[in-house]
């Protein structure tokens, strides 16, 4: 994490300090704190980044921190964002946070992820919602190929592209197949506010990656139900969950949905491989009857009832994974939606003439990004 940094101590009197320069300086400072250099040519080009690097090297000397693999990834992500003017929220997006995002396979192409091979299988961090910055809840790890193909597309564009491929209006797009584009669309839907009716009609073709925030309560319930099949004891847990449902019609509709889902999962065969088990559940949603019965069941509920069911199920320890409910006003903190994920072009401060004491420099360094 960043430490308190002095800001351009030798800058000329009256010079302006922009948010972009402040971020670059802190990035260079953190490179120095971990005894690392930015890649060429950024380690030599005159910039706020190099200024922070030199200041940090002078301040830390040999008293540096060990650069772990996740620290290197964290610095690389920040450099990539800084060069494009993209915002990075640094309170929650830490090396430890990036470690929690790691995956063995791409959720879109399903290939095993590699590291630093310069191939399309290399793992990369994607901003799932393109009009937001690198912030907690908006990040997912996928292959470089899938990331490049997805680009700036959102939910609606990915749905349109999938349909055009299905009916033959276009023959290829980004090197992805129709099922892969369908998974891109579902992934984007998780961070796209949708009506309950629209969200309840979407298949769970890909489970939400770890730490992704789900904006639509019915999809959170959908993921909760689907994940039950990935760990032992699911029959008992689902029976207890069914008892929480509001009324006989909802309970009957849920059983009919599950009796459609389970055979499709079992058709894939028993496997001890967690990844293949996950894919079997995801692929079961491609069956029209499964989606039809899920939609019927889900529309007997409301978003509020979905949230209440998840809360009750979590309290009874029926969730295979930890469920954290976040208030809507907090869900997009640090996402920079007002600037579409870019660093605002703002001047943070004006430099004044004369030497600055340590307290003044520390106050400047605490300015928010």
- Per-residue pLDDT tens digits for 238-247: 999 999 999 9
What is the dihedral sign for C-alpha 24, 26, 31, 35? positive
- From the list 22, 25, 90, 88, the residue with the least C-alpha distance to 55 is 25
Distance of CA 214 to the CA centre of its chain: 10
Q: How many CB atoms lie within 10 A of CB 262?
A: 17
Cβ-contact 309, 254 below 8 angstroms = no
Give the residues of the chain that fall short of pLDDT 50. 2, 9-14, 351-369
Name the pTM for this structure. 0.89
367 three-class SS = coil
Q: How many CB atoms lie within 10 A of CB 103?
A: 16
- What are the structural domain ranges in the chain? 1-85+343-369, 99-203+329-340, 214-325
Looking at residue 358, what is its pLDDT? 34
Strands 123-127 and 16-18: unpaired
Q: Backbone dihedral region of 173: left (phi > 0), alpha (psi from -120 to 50 degrees) or beta?
A: beta
Q: Phi/psi at 127 (nearest 5 deg)?
A: -80, 105
CA angle, 315 then 200 then 341, to 5°? 85
52 three-class SS = helix
- Per-residue pLDDT tens digits for 169-179: 888 789 999 99
What is the dihedral sign for C-alpha 315, 318, 323, 327? negative
């Amino acid at each position: 994490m960043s430490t308190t940094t002095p800001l351009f101590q030798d800058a000329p009197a009256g010079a302006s300090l922009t948010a972009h320069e402040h971020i670059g300086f802190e990035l260079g400072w953190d490179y120095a704190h971990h005894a690392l250099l930015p890649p060429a040519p950024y380690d030599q080009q005159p910039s706020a980044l190099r200024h922070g690097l030199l200041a940090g090297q002078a301040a830390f000397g040999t008293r540096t921190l060990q650069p772990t693999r996740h620290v290197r990834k964290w610095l690389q992500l920040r450099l990539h964002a800084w060069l494009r003017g993209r915002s990075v929220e640094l309170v929650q997006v830490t090396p430890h946070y990036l470690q929690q995002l790691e995956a063995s396979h791409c959720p879109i192409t399903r290939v095993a992820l590699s590291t630093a091979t310069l191939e399309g299988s290399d793992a990369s961090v994607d901003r799932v919602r393109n009009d937001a910055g690198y912030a907690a809840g908006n990040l997912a790890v996928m292959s470089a190929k899938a990331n490049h193909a997805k680009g700036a597309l959102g939910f609606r564009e990915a749905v349109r592209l999938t349909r055009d491929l299905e009916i033959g209006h276009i023959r290829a797009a980004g090197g992805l197949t129709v099922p892969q584009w369908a998974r891109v669309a579902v992934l984007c839907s998780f961070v796209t506010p949708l009506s309950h009716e629209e969200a309840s009609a979407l298949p769970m073709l890909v489970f939400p990656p770890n730490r992704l925030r789900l904006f639509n309560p019915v999809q959170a319930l959908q993921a909760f139900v689907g994940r039950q099949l990935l760990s032992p004891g699911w029959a008992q847990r689902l029976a207890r969950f069914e008892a929480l449902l509001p009324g006989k019609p909802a309970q009957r509709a849920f059983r009919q949905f599950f009796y459609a889902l389970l055979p499709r999962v079992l058709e894939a065969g028993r496997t001890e491989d967690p990844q293949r088990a996950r894919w079997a559940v995801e692929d079961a949603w491609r069956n029209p009857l499964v989606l039809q019965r899920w939609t019927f069941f889900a529309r007997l509920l409301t978003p509020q009832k979905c949230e209440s069911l998840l809360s009750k199920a979590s309290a009874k320890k029926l969730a295979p994974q930890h469920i954290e409910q976040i208030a809507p006003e907090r869900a997009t903190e640090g996402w920079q939606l007002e600037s579409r994920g870019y660093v605002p072009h703002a001047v943070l401060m004006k430099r004044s003439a004369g030497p600055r004491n340590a307290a003044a420099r520390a106050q400047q360094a605490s300015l928010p990004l």
